[in-house]
Amino acid sequence: MALRTADEYKQGLKDGRRVFLMGKKVEDVTCDPYIKVGVETAAFDFLMAHDPAMREKAIMADPETGEDISAYFELPDYPGHVAKRHELIKAACYYAQGAIPFVKDVGSDIINGLTVAARLMGNKDYLTRINDYRSYCARNDISIAGAVTDVKGDRLKGPSEQKTPDYYLRVVDETDDSIVVSGAKAHITAGPYCDEVLVIPCRNLTQADKANAVSFAIPLNAPGITQICRPNFRYEDIHHFPTSHPKRGHLESLLIFDNVSVPKERVFMLGEWQFAQYVAYAFSAFHRYTAVTYKIPILEYMTGLGLLAAEANGIAKASHIKERTIDMINYTETTKALAKAASMDPEDFGGSKLFVPNRLTSNMAKLHFAANFHEFVRNIQDIAGGLLVTQPTYQDWKHEELNPYLEKYMGGAGEYTAEKRLKLMSMLHHMVASDFAGWHEVCTIHAEGSFAAQRMMLYAEAPMEMYKEKARKVIGI
């Protein structure tokens, strides 16, 4: 089959999956006004693959059949793969008008992490299975959600120490050909509109947690799977001013496995608790970098919004606004520079002969991004003014009696007519002052691992001995 069209992807989602939103079962995720935002964002992955202008970045030849397949599924077995993927993900985001299509990157990051783990375990069965799964996904152009985060209960306790075993996904039964799993994974991006989900443990485990040491892939319409998701913003957004393209974004789900049967050819880890942390580390080495990469187009776009707000309010040259502008530029360009630096210094992960971005630098990039995003937003809010939250809606603008007032009072500096300024303020509201903006701020902190995860990696990866040796030499001890 190889590359699917966006329409084929959407048709594939009409498969009887159990998805709930605001207490109601969603019959067709491609038509739901909220979930459609995510479906249409994800569809860019499929549109891109058929666009000749994107071919060089988006497509590769299947190593066995020579057929066109998505470049997301390339085996990262040469150092240059890191920079190539950095460019692919950025290009996909620019193509999707600033949003990340997402439905192949997290899945392929997990496939890469599991390939590393199988190589390092020296487990030939797992290696064959994950290689077969990579080919299956590439040849059928599968969209994949990544399910890592367990619901976790008491964070300081491991799975077997919790008051109930339900806080971590686990194996509840096993036959010669299959396993049965129960549990829930939280915050699963694009879960409602991916074809399959790939599951791995989220933490280190002990022998007592053996049942939690499980990794597998399964179609999201499998019996026993239920997803509960919450709305973000509507596809048909009637309050904001229309833009040249509908707004893009994603939804997450609470993904529940109620005695779900998984065939063993789709099981990539079963009981090897000693390797659980390794799988989580290997995945995050790939994924944290993917995450940093897809922040770049968003930050460039948001910096642009801040600059336009300064222009519209006539304050671009005011000295304190110049300071805000410099801070925004410093933030955006430092994130970009760190991300680029990580791709220029790839590492062979644990001697697996698979290459990941430099882990110290990519964690620094993610930490820099997450730690300073709120201040970046604050700068834009300061520049834009109170209209961010008090602006009349598009319905008011269209209202016969109200429009003349808005025309009269809402204009800005220079060429900013009332319509132009309100249009800009409407987008700014969406990005820095709406429910979605709150989602974005929390996403920045927690998605792809919260601050502590990056700080731990900095501590683990920093060249401490080198620093000390430099000091010893100077002192002469």
Ligand X SMILES: Cc1cc2nc3c(=O)[nH]c(=O)nc-3n(C[C@H](O)[C@H](O)[C@H](O)COP(=O)(O)OP(=O)(O)OC[C@H]3O[C@@H](n4cnc5c(N)ncnc54)[C@H](O)[C@@H]3O)c2cc1C
Asked whether position 252 contacts ligand X by CB under 6 A, the answer is yes
Q: Which amino acid is at 404?
A: P
Smallest distance from ligand X to CB 333, Å: 25
Point out which span in 135-143, 303-311, 439-447, 457-465 binds ligand X (CB under 6 A).
Answer: 439-447
Output 43 or 443, the one with its CB closest to ligand X: 443
Point out which span in 144-152, 161-169, 270-278, 347-355 binds ligand X (CB under 6 A).
Answer: 144-152
Output 37 or 147, the one with its CB closest to ligand X: 147
- CA 346 to each of CA 11, 273, 294, 317: distance values in angstroms, whole numbers, following the listed order: 39, 28, 18, 42
Q: Which two tokens stand for residue 222?
A: 């499998």
Q: Which helix (H) or strand (E) holds 214?
A: strand 214-219
Q: Which two tokens stand for residue 73?
A: 């599924």
96 vs 104: CA distance, rounded Å:
14
Asked whether position 282 contacts ligand X by CB under 6 A, the answer is no
Residues 415, 327 contacting (CB under 8 angstroms): no
- Cβ-based neighbour number of residue 89 at 10 Å: 25
How would DSSP label each residue in 150-212? B--SSTTS-GGGSSSGGGS-EEEEE-SSEEEEEEEEEEEETGGG-SEEEE---S---GGGGGG
Residues 232, 225 contacting (CB under 8 angstroms): no
Smallest distance from ligand X to CB 250, Å: 8
Among 24, 122, 452, 473, contact with ligand X (rule: CB under 6 A): 452
Asked whether position 363 contacts ligand X by CB under 6 A, the answer is no
What does DSSP say about strands 19-21 and 267-270: parallel, antiparallel, or unpaired? unpaired
Output 211 or 370, the one with its CB closest to ligand X: 370
Q: Taking the CA of residue 429 as centre, how many other CA atoms within 13 Å lie in the half-sphere pointing to its CB?
A: 20
Output 147 or 308, the one with its CB closest to ligand X: 147
Asked whether position 399 contacts ligand X by CB under 6 A, the answer is no
Asked whether position 291 contacts ligand X by CB under 6 A, the answer is no
246 vs 122: CA distance, rounded Å:
48
Any bridge partners for residue 269, and if so which?
Answer: 215
Among 30, 108, 182, 189, contact with ligand X (rule: CB under 6 A): 189
Residues 354, 116 contacting (CB under 8 angstroms): yes
Among 33, 414, 450, 455, contact with ligand X (rule: CB under 6 A): 450
Residues 89, 127 contacting (CB under 8 angstroms): no
Smallest distance from ligand X to CB 16, Å: 23
Output 76 or 449, the one with its CB closest to ligand X: 449
Which has the closest alpha carbon to 198: 136, 119, 259? 136
Output 69 or 229, the one with its CB closest to ligand X: 229
How would DSSP label each residue in 401-423? TTHHHHHHH---STT--HHHHHH
| SS3 label, residue 380 | helix
Output 149 or 362, the one with its CB closest to ligand X: 149
Asked whether position 160 contacts ligand X by CB under 6 A, the answer is no
Q: Which helix (H) or strand (E) holds 368?
A: helix 359-384
Asked whether position 456 contacts ligand X by CB under 6 A, the answer is no
Among 38, 98, 101, 146, contact with ligand X (rule: CB under 6 A): 146
Asked whether position 55 contacts ligand X by CB under 6 A, the answer is no
Asked whether position 444 contacts ligand X by CB under 6 A, the answer is no
Asked whether position 449 contacts ligand X by CB under 6 A, the answer is yes
x/- track of binding to ligand X for residues 95-114 (CB under 6 A): -----------x--------
What does DSSP say about strands 144-147 and 196-199: parallel, antiparallel, or unpaired? parallel
Point out which span in 41-49, 91-99, 171-179, 182-190 binds ligand X (CB under 6 A).
Answer: 182-190
Among 60, 312, 447, 457, contact with ligand X (rule: CB under 6 A): 447
Asked whether position 460 contacts ligand X by CB under 6 A, the answer is no
Asked whether position 130 contacts ligand X by CB under 6 A, the answer is no
Quote the distance between the C-alpha of residue 395 and its chain's center.
33
Asked whether position 12 contacts ligand X by CB under 6 A, the answer is no
x/- track of binding to ligand X for residues 212-251 (CB under 6 A): ----------------------------------------
Asked whether position 285 contacts ligand X by CB under 6 A, the answer is no
Asked whether position 148 contacts ligand X by CB under 6 A, the answer is yes
Which has the closest alpha carbon to 121: 357, 288, 358, 350? 350
Asked whether position 183 contacts ligand X by CB under 6 A, the answer is no
- Cβ-based neighbour number of residue 75 at 10 Å: 16
Going by C-beta distance under 8 Å and a sequence separation of 6 or more, which residues neighbour residue 284?
113, 448, 449, 453, 457
Output 260 or 424, the one with its CB closest to ligand X: 260
Among 55, 84, 152, 234, contact with ligand X (rule: CB under 6 A): 152
Among 41, 108, 112, 149, contact with ligand X (rule: CB under 6 A): 149
Asked whether position 37 contacts ligand X by CB under 6 A, the answer is no
Asked whether position 446 contacts ligand X by CB under 6 A, the answer is yes
Asked whether position 308 contacts ligand X by CB under 6 A, the answer is no
Interacting residues toward ligand X by CB under 6 A:
106, 146-149, 152, 155-156, 185, 187-189, 252, 442-443, 446-450, 452
